[in-house]
A and B are shown apart, each in its own frame.
Chain A
Amino acid sequence: MKRTSDTQQSRRTPLYQAHVDAQGKMVDFGDWEMPLNYGSQIEEHHQVRTDAGMFDVSHMTTVDFKGAQAKVFLQTLIANDVDKLKTEGKALYSCMLNESGGVVDDLIVYYINDEDYRMVINAGTTEKDIAWINAQAQGFDVSVEPQFDLAMIAVQGPNARAKVFEAMPGVEEVAGELKPFNAASLGGLFIARTGYTGEDGFEIMLPEKSAEFTWKMLLEAGVKPCGLGARDTLRLEAGMSLYGSEMNDEVSPLEATLTWTVDLTNEDRRFVGRDALEELKEKGVEMTIVGLVLEGKGVIRDHQKVVTSLGDGEVTSGTFSPTMGKAIALARVPMGTTGSCEIEMRNKMVSAKIVKPPFVRNGKVLV
């Protein structure tokens, strides 16, 4: 479905028609035609914080790793250590790095067994990632298998799991007891208790031919469709990084408050980028990501200049927080910056409070 034709202007997921039918405002999103909202992105945001909403994330890519050396390979490829994964379905968040310690992509990897792992990578970086992974896989007994025929639906919110159980027969039996950051399989379904909103819920991978039917069953169970607009305000309130904004090929996890995803404990595990990270650590990390809250009016926007007592920085992701009713942002600033800062907004300097993300989790404001 997705990468069949080079001449196609933009790609469509198996749920494209469902979005159009639901009055989705379709926009171009990194080669994909995706719904920005279905009317009001603020209502969709509240829907996820208070009840249950669903997102079509079929543009993201699932890659399976199989073979006798799948485990050692992933221990080399990514900065977190898959040796932590011991039980089937257990998930791990990590970055894969280039030789300079910059982030090639952030990802989730699921353990099936020592010779079988599943990874989910970003849509916009898919081609780059797969080329990178294949290059790194040279000499390892591992087969890298992108699953382009899988759709993915994220159902998120305090009532998300209950509504999934209602809509999808048999899922409660296999996924009813799943702990956060674990996944279970049911036939062609792969159900993970993960998400990108700061709420409980599932991310469900399924064969593309089942996507539309499943979407309809979820609609009937009262799950409202939500677009990319709400997805971004939700993840930002949850303080979660977005690839290309908080980190990229030139920014290391140590400069993006993702140090917790880098595992340096096993000295013998020389993953790609480790030398650069150790060197950076030795030298001292100069920049970091903080949260900003604007007390006054206005909305903080990406790339606005931030002025602090320790030097200048930049907004990496800015938005209006529907839950807080204020503008919030993530910003890259000099390490050690606290208290408040000034943001240059529309030619005016506006004061903002520096906070530690997340701003909102499980419906509650934390800053």
Chain B
Amino acid sequence: MSEVRDDRQYTETHEWILDNGDGTFTMGVTDHAQALLGDMVFVELPGEGDEASHEDEFCVVESVKAASGVYAPVDLEVVTANEALDDEPELLNSSCYDDGWLVKFKADNIEGLMSAEDYTDTLD
């Protein structure tokens, strides 16, 4: 059974978004997604200040099995990316909701995302 955390919101494409309460948000891939992809071996991260529109592919996570795009959940500007993933992409497997976060971003709003409950329903 995949872990879904109540403290954050989700997308249909298996990203999670956590409100940091200071106008910034942290995002990553869900437990369900990391389990499906298997061992992660590379992560292609955006740069600081990069802008992405809603549903743009702006990161790539690559596992032994497949390369998979990570999509902007809303219109956003990247504040910082998790450079620890360059050396330890396996953090995406071992700690997808904590140390394996992908990017922190700024956005005007994050409407249209799913609650933990709704996301859990999509996994059945």
Interface residues of A (CB under 8 A from B): 36-37, 40-42, 229, 233, 297-299, 301, 319-320, 346
Task: Count chain A CB atoms within 10 A of each CB in B41, B44, B64, B90 and give the residue with the most.
Answer: B64
CA of A342 to CA of B44, assembled, Å: 20
A320/B41 in contact, CB under 8 A: yes
Encoded as 1 (CB less than 8 Å from any A CB) or 0, chain B from 49 to 83 comes to: 00000000000101011110000000000000000
A299/B67 in contact, CB under 8 A: yes
CA of A299 to CA of B64, assembled, Å: 8
For the complex of A and B, the 3 pairs showing the least CB-CB separation, nearest first, are A42-B39, A320-B41, A297-B42
| Known A-B contacts A299-B41, A320-B41; A42 and B64 likewise in contact (beta carbons under 8 Å) | yes
10 A–B contacts, CB within 8 A, in A order: A40-B93, A41-B38, A41-B39, A42-B39, A229-B64, A229-B65, A298-B62, A299-B41, A299-B67, A320-B62
CA of A298 to CA of B60, assembled, Å: 9
Q: Which residue of A lies closest to B38 (CB)?
A: A41
How close is B45's CB to chain A, nearest CB, in angstroms?
10
* Residue from A41, A233, A346 in contact with B67 in the complex, judged by beta carbons closer than 8 Å: A346
A229/B67 in contact, CB under 8 A: no
Interface size on B, residues (CB 8 A): 13
CA of A70 to CA of B39, assembled, Å: 47
Encoded as 1 (CB less than 8 Å from any A CB) or 0, chain B from 83 to 102 comes to: 00000001001000000000
| B62 partner residues in chain A, CB cutoff 8 A | 297-299, 320
Task: Count chain A CB atoms within 10 A of each CB in B38, B41, B66 and give the residue with the most.
Answer: B41
Query: A297-B42, A299-B42 provided; 19 other pairs, C-beta below 8 A?
Result: A36-B38, A40-B39, A41-B38, A42-B39, A42-B90, A229-B65, A297-B44, A297-B62, A298-B62, A298-B67, A299-B62, A299-B67, A301-B66, A301-B67, A320-B41, A320-B62, A320-B64, A346-B60, A346-B67
CA of A56 to CA of B41, assembled, Å: 26
* Residue from A40, A298, A319 in contact with B42 in the complex, judged by beta carbons closer than 8 Å: A298
CA of A91 to CA of B42, assembled, Å: 40
CA of A301 to CA of B64, assembled, Å: 10
| A233 partner residues in chain B, CB cutoff 8 A | 64
CA of A113 to CA of B7, assembled, Å: 70
CA of A111 to CA of B1, assembled, Å: 50
